Amino acid sequence: MRNIVGLVLGGGKGTRLFPLTAQRSKPAVPLASKYRLIDIPIANCINSGVDRIYLLTQFNSVSLHRHIRQTYNFDGFHGGFVEILAAQQTIEGADWYQGTADAVRKNLRYIQQPGIDYVLILSGDQLYRMDYQQMLKTHLDTKADVTIGALPVDREDAKSFGIMQLDDTGRVKGFVEKPKTKEAIDSVRMDPAWIDSKGIDSKGRDCMASMGIYLFDRDLLVDLLTKTTHEDFGKEVFPMAIADHNVNVHLFDGYWEDIGTIKSFFQANLDLAKPNPPFEFYRPDSPIYTRPRFLPATKVTGTYFDHSLIGDGGVIDEGTRIENSVIGLRCRIGKNVMIKNSIIMGADYFESEEETEHNDGAGVPMIGIGDGCVIENAIIDKNCRIGAGAVVAPGNRQEADLSDPELYIRDGILVAPKGSTIPANWILPS
């Protein structure tokens, strides 16, 4: 594993996750009360023995850089690192990254260093747990030039993925991006018995979806990128490699979620609060790492909790009821508040007594949630101020852009951007 380098792609503008990405990049979006999305691929690398990791970033990356700098520090004798490769002007070019493949092309000198035989390319916005040692074993056993993570899906889900056609050895022979018709799906379907024969219960699933996780022979990757101008791995580099090289699959059947939209982000977080969550953070053999914080325990008085995650540093007053929700760091929640099916991200800092008194005099709510509020089917980003008695819920609306205060409704979920202020007794206008 010491001959592998990991490249984590920091993502584009994250428009489908807006407004959560208005002030941060996708991998920096908070997850499960105390983590960030970027912690998932980095933890998978560390737990798999991949200890040389580069993170390629471009958009709104300041908070992501700060998180990486404060979290991932290896000892001087180990030789491991997590380093950031931000888009920059060089002698070779002054353009921004034009796509995933272009981002790697602009940083080839870092993977052409001695002692690197394989390059693992990962996304920074997926939730899953994988042992990349097993992926390398598959790569070596099949004598592959490229190995790609493959997830069995049914025909309906296949419409949302890139689907691969395989031969009996697991070699990729064809690829169709998001097939919509029966004929297109039939052209790439697999016999479920083949999936069963590989030790995975197919459960009738007959399509193999690309997970966007690639393991390349280093020299081949350099060759593919230097001899073409392709900008995207999934749509250009990967299909091109199929024609002339041994591209094989590494089968995976655990929990895997692409956190690309408000709806998927919302559901993934709430699923983590279930009694038996599909993704488990409580795994001593493969922990998920994040920034260590020196915060006091959350103080709770007379509060009812059910199926919820609660972060550190909060104060939750009496009479409050929290159901099926995720409560982040430094949350201040007043009395008699109802929070249901919601994500409250918390705050980046504690508001001082002087600030609170000054804001009270100016009629500005504290950072947190005031007395008597109702919050349902909502995402409240960090540092928001919600005045007493406000009802923060989307009602029957599915999509809307609101002003004064600036709020958004996406897929029936109300989203309050970072730093928003919702006045006391506010209710969604009809």
**Unique residue bearing structure tokens 């792609």:** 9
Q: What are phi and psi of 299, to 5 degrees?
A: -95, 125
Sign of the torsion formed by the C-alpha atoms of 45, 51, 56 and 57:
positive
Rounded to whole angstroms, how far apart are CA atoms 372 and 99?
47
- Which amino acid is residue 252, in one-letter code? F
DSSP 26: G
Rounded to whole angstroms, how far apart are CA atoms 374 and 163?
43
Rounded to whole angstroms, how far apart are CA atoms 107 and 103?
7
Q: Which two tokens stand for residue 108?
A: 């080839």
423: preceding bond cis by omega (within 30 degrees): no
Q: What DSSP string describes 87-111?
A: ----SS--PPP-SHHHHHHTTHHHH
> All domains of the chain, ordered by start, with CATH?
4-272 (3.90.550.10), 299-422 (2.160.10.10)
CA angle 172, 175, 181 (to 5 degrees): 135
Rounded to whole angstroms, how far apart are CA atoms 347 and 171?
48
Rounded to whole angstroms, how far apart are CA atoms 154 and 144?
26
Stretches where the chain sits below pLDDT 50 are 89
CB 209 within 8 A of CB 163: yes
CA nearest to 314, candidates 294, 327, 332, 338: 332
Pairing of strands 321-323, 421-422: unpaired
CA angle 370, 292, 85 (to 5 degrees): 105
Q: Which DSSP helix (H) or strand (E) runs through 421?
A: strand 421-422
CB 253 within 8 A of CB 152: yes
Rounded to whole angstroms, how far apart are CA atoms 140 and 163?
23
User: Is residue 231 classed exposed, middle or buried when 0-12, 13-18 and 19+ CB atoms within 10 A define those classes?
Assistant: middle
Rounded to whole angstroms, how far apart are CA atoms 408 and 417?
8
Residue 93's pLDDT is 54
Contacts of 13 (CB under 8 A, 6+ apart): 21, 59
pTM: 0.93
Long-range contacts of 356-360 (CB under 8 A, 24+ apart): none
Give bridge partners of residue 247 from the DSSP assignment: 146
Residue 14's pLDDT is 72
Rounded to whole angstroms, how far apart are CA atoms 145 and 162?
20
Residue 90's pLDDT is 54
pLDDT digits (tens, 9 = 90+) for 65-112: 999 999 998 887 777 999 988 875 455 555 666 778 888 888 899 999
Contacts of 118 (CB under 8 A, 6+ apart): 3, 4, 5, 136, 139, 215, 216, 217, 218
- Which amino acid is residue 306, in one-letter code? D
